[in-house]
Structure 1
Amino acid sequence: MSSLGRSTGTKLHILDTAQRLVAAKGFSGVGLKDILASAGVPKGSFYHWFSSKEAFGVDLLDHYFSKYLAEIDGILFAPQENGRNRLLSYCQFWRKNQEQEDPDAKCLAVKLGAEVSDMSEEMRLALKKGTSAIIERMGCVIEGGVRDGSITSTRIPHHLAETLYQLWMGASVMYKITREGKSFEEAMAATEHLLTNT
């Protein structure tokens, strides 16, 4: 492996390690020492790649959303499935991830949305960019579902996608508070209603 490959690998290793820590403790709850100790890298390696903790936070969110979007593309654009089934499969995937204790599966948009949006404009914009990309994909799936007849809602697909994303974000926050699956059950019922409500 070239020196460039090794150095890039170091950056990705720091981001992957930090994602688990931040998903478990939040952005403010994780210090630079925690990241360095868990990643097993010296302080200089961190500042070689990130000029500040805020810059690191932006890169962390970009890295997270890049991986997440690649993962959900396999669900949202699965062949041989109609639009409705693709969207409901994504909702099931969302619920499963939120109910797991594994920090690797946790959604950083849910974890950090309220925490960092008032703290850092750059991180807020990174969150907006990532969540907008998810909503855009959901809108495309809804459009496809309308075309194949599996979704009968007459709402504008992108507006419906925004509503559904907000619904599931809210359900995720309520799950964190109650530790009960009722919020997801109600979100799924509301989703199915919205996909058929004309």
Structure 2
Amino acid sequence: MTEQSKDTRSHILAVGRSLTARQGFTGVGLNELLKAACVPKGSFYHYFASKEAYGCALLEDFVAQYRESLGSTLSRQDQPARTRLLAYFEEWLARQTSPDVQQRCLVVKLSAEIADLSPDMSRILQNGVTGIIASLTKTLEDGAADGSIAPMQDADQLAQSIYHQWLGASLIAGLSHDDAPLRSAMEATRQAISPPDL
């Protein structure tokens, strides 16, 4: 694929992500996407065999970018693990309450919508979630090892519980247009990963 082809494909995905963040996946028609991206239909089908294939590429792109940003937060070895975890969730809170809807998590936006719509898209999202939970689990284990988080019986179970709480809080915050559920999740997370002396 030439650089120009990569640029065109990336441009379509970037425009699509912006539209999808605002309207959901099914809410974005192909003609609307083509018009917003200023590309002809032939160019779209050169890169994507169908709207579902485009949706898969959109999610793969999002998951890859998210993993990169996640790694830069959770993998910083110059900070205790508890600090890294709290920074990750503080960033989540900031993104989900940002007036810029493109900052918000597509997992939150699309998980319910595509569950029965596309097995392939659902699989990509699930793989992304599995990767996130694995990173959170590793950071919890790091925290128990470096002494910044009290020892726990099952780091993976705790990571899942915290992540699911944040997903639920994000959905409720979106429905209510109130950040209180996210702030409650933040406080619950602080307590769940308390230092050993608390």
Is residue 31 of structure 2 the alignment partner of residue 33 of structure 1? yes
Query: Which segments of 5 or more consecutive residues in structure 2 lack a partner in the other structure?
Result: none
**1:153–1:195 CA contact under 8 A, matched in 2:** no
2:193 alignment partner, SS class: helix
Is residue 64 of structure 2 the alignment partner of residue 66 of structure 1? yes
Following TM superposition, by how much is the alpha carbon of 1:153 offset from its aligned partner in structure 2, in angstroms? 4.0
Pairwise CA RMSD of aligned residues? 1.4
2:15 alignment partner, SS class: helix
1:142-163: CA deviations, max 9, x gaps? 1110100111141311221111
Q: Which residue is 2:53 aligned to?
A: 55
Q: Which residue is 2:100 aligned to?
A: 102
Q: TM-score, normalised by structure 2?
A: 0.95
Q: Which residue is 2:157 aligned to?
A: 159
Distance 1:102 1:153 in 2: 38
2:22 alignment partner, SS class: helix
**2:148–2:195 CA contact under 8 A, matched in 1:** no
One-letter amino acid matched to 2:161: T
Q: Which residue is 1:181 aligned to?
A: 179
Instruction: State the number of aligned residues.
Output: 196
Distance 2:179 2:151 in 1: 26
Distance 1:189 1:170 in 2: 15
Following TM superposition, by how much is the alpha carbon of 1:197 offset from its aligned partner in structure 2, in angstroms? 9.1
Q: TM-score, normalised by structure 1?
A: 0.95
Following TM superposition, by how much is the alpha carbon of 1:9 offset from its aligned partner in structure 2, in angstroms? 1.3
One-letter amino acid matched to 2:141: E
Q: Which residue is 1:46 aligned to?
A: 44
Following TM superposition, by how much is the alpha carbon of 1:117 offset from its aligned partner in structure 2, in angstroms? 0.9
Query: Which segments of 5 or more consecutive residues in structure 1 lack a partner in the other structure?
Result: none
Give the alignment partner of residue 167 of structure 2, picking from 166, 169, 177: 169
1:17-62: CA deviations, max 9, x gaps? 1001000100010011111111111101111111111111111000
**Kindly, what percent of the aligned residue pairs are identical?**
37
Distance 2:91 2:148 in 1: 20
**1:21–1:103 CA contact under 8 A, matched in 2:** no
2:148 alignment partner, SS class: coil
